[in-house]
Structure 1
Amino acid sequence: MTSAAASAATAARTARDLTADLPLPALEDLYRDLHRHPELSLREHRTAGKLAGRLADAGFETAEGVGGTGAVGRLANGDGPTVLLRADMDALPVTEATGLPYASTNDGVMHACGHDLHVTWLAGAAAALAAGRDTWRGTLLMVGQPAEESGQGARRMLADGLYERFGRPDVLLGQHAAPGPAGLYPHVPGLIMSAATDVDIVVHGRGGHGSRPEATVDPVVTAAYLVTRLQTVVSREVAAGESAVLTVGRIEAGTRHNIIPDEARIALNLRTQSEPVRQRMLAAIRRIAQGECLAAGCPREPEVTIGATFPVTVNDAATDTTVAAAHRELFGAATVFDPGPAMGSEDFPELALDGAVPYAYWFVTTTPHDIWNEAPGDTLPEKLAAVPSNHSPHFAPDPATVAPGVRTLVSGALALLSEA
């Protein structure tokens, strides 16, 4: 057995021992409680308090309010590397339609992306690693991060002195709930998630009565042409070998049936996997917006504003290989595989300081097996398209994934901490 294989085997064996007696009823109760009480970005006060309380009970030095609503726990345990484990905490403005007995009690707000599960995993891992501190050496940083969905949280925590106050980590670990039959742990030793860019466009027209369109410049018609033309950006301006997505997420204009408004607003989201492609798409959006408005005779040029941005998520190959090896030892070789990069995005890489700190980020599949088995389709992509995905009002991870998600974090941390 090679030294790497031996280290993975040791991490898996120790993780199995440390999590053999997980307080599953209490952890599942925590998960259901967090799901019932979702909080939007930068409003995660209750969630952060719940996590901070768990960290303090486990023996961590704990702080709240970092970056606004972030929670941090620090446990120093001798000489060794500093390993940061992160869970995002915010929910989404989605009206839940799962019908679960523990469905959201906050109207119009839902944990539709699994962050309630992430917090539960982190709390369970913190308790297990603290109780088993005689098996490892180093320092653990447990970070409950706010505002991942808005792309603000990691940057806000860093600006609030996260590393100056609690120590700069040597390595970062993160994981995310994902659709797929519960019990799989996809890893990619490189690019795993895409960059995201929000773009807002304002089309300026000249309003008037709906009975006299000839006296107006209708921004709604111009916006409709613009939306249609934007669909050619990926199909005609991005090379076939590149991956990109352009989504029009919102279009707004007008107040009544018979009033032609003065302006129309369009909200776009881009997903790209390289900076040159991102810049090419932004240039195309500006050009198309200006061209359509010019063709329509708009009285002013359109406003094109770049909004929230998320970086690409690129795992450090050595770090991810180390963690993936521990997961294979713990769960079986067939449960860990490379699915290739996803078009989803994360602000987790912000914590890496422009690549100065290596990290590993992976997925934990959470679709209940009965839902997966009943989904139409014979192939993995067909079934993935049929089951509720992240951000769906029907997204309902299996509570049975609480224990495996704790074990992935515990084994990943042990694979990187020094052995006692």
Structure 2
Amino acid sequence: MSEFDYDLFTIGAGSGGVRASRIAASHGARVAVAEEFRVGGTCVIRGCVPKKMLVYGAHFAEDLEDAKHFGWDIPEAKFDWLKLRDNVLGDVDRLNGLYTQTLSNNKVEIFHERAVITGPHEITLSSGEKKTARVILIATGARPQVPSCPGHELGITSNEAFHLDAIPKRMLIAGAGYIANEFAGIFHEFGAKVTLINRSDQLLRGYDEQLRDRLLQISIAKGIDFRFNADFRGIEQNADGSLTVSMTNHDPIEVDCVMFATGRVPNVEGLGLENVGVAVDDKNAILVDQYSKTSVDHIYAVGDVTNRVQLTPVAIREGQAFADTVFGGKPATVDYGCIPSAVFSHPPIGAVGLTEAQARQQYGEVEIYTSDFRPMKNVVAHRNERSLYKMICEAGTGRVLGLHMIGPEAPEIIQAAAIAVKAGLTKADFDATVAVHPTMSEELVLMK
């Protein structure tokens, strides 16, 4: 009989923890998972999945308007936020059930409570029950960061955005990353007057500069306001319930809702890491090696709590690699090079590989190819928005180092194109591929 209750005890049932637990169990391990909130984690419960559903809902605002130019006589359309909100939350419930069922079907025991590491191989649940495990996996993810300015408790984060009782008439969003820009587009399309503020002078740091500039131009044209070089000073509630936000370098602004989208921080507090000597970095992210092992041999960590690449598919691959390495006898690591990403803004962005600035820094001379065009649908709809596709290639060889696009369905297109970039194909390989006409994606093989 084993000296431990389980071969693996996973703390956190998000995308990484669920995959790791399921695969470890398939390798014959006795596995348990503790989750203090809901099975599914940030992505499924309060992140990318419900957010994408809101993005779909927001697109109808412009689609219904554009439809008139395609011959559709549509009576005045009315938007019911509560109906969309409740339908989205209902689907979150469905997914929560499916993730729970997946663990149960794989004979993973689930504890719906908080777990703390209280000894080298010991976990104590909030009920007081103690469990032991040969291996412990930490997959507790991250949470929205909230500034420490006076009145910060009056604001919300992306977590609460899915539960609002009404769309605010005036909304201020703090931040300029993908979450800020996505919710700016969503709430703008739902009828809110959106102001986005950021402490620096640029948005979407890490994305190609030309695409960032294009999104800013389009967003301003749509009616979203931007205030750059603006640090929070404080939030005050007025007698009528509205909020007055003060900031550096700009006049105060009165709004009905403040949303913080100023980054995310790893969930490590109160886990008992200090009890066993698990090391963290200066941002409180758990330090791990290429196999996701922490400074303690039998304790591992995957996903956002390690702050390597905060993307759901990456956490899933880390969980898979961990389980195959530790329980499957198949040592595996995750390749973090050339990871595609998307921003579900209005219009969305898709990107893979190096930006122009990164490529010039690493390779010196590069070749840039672009296609700046108005999608056919926008022409008929009398919409002036232009899409931009950009390809960065190594000089001499033509190897594609990066591919970046902003325009309708860019995230759907970039997934397939990312395979070519990952494979090291060249501009000539793209040129040799016959275009699918008429499509937006044909611009990938027509760039000059």
TM-score, reference length from structure 2: 0.25
With normalisation by structure 1, the TM-score equals 0.26
More helix by share: 1
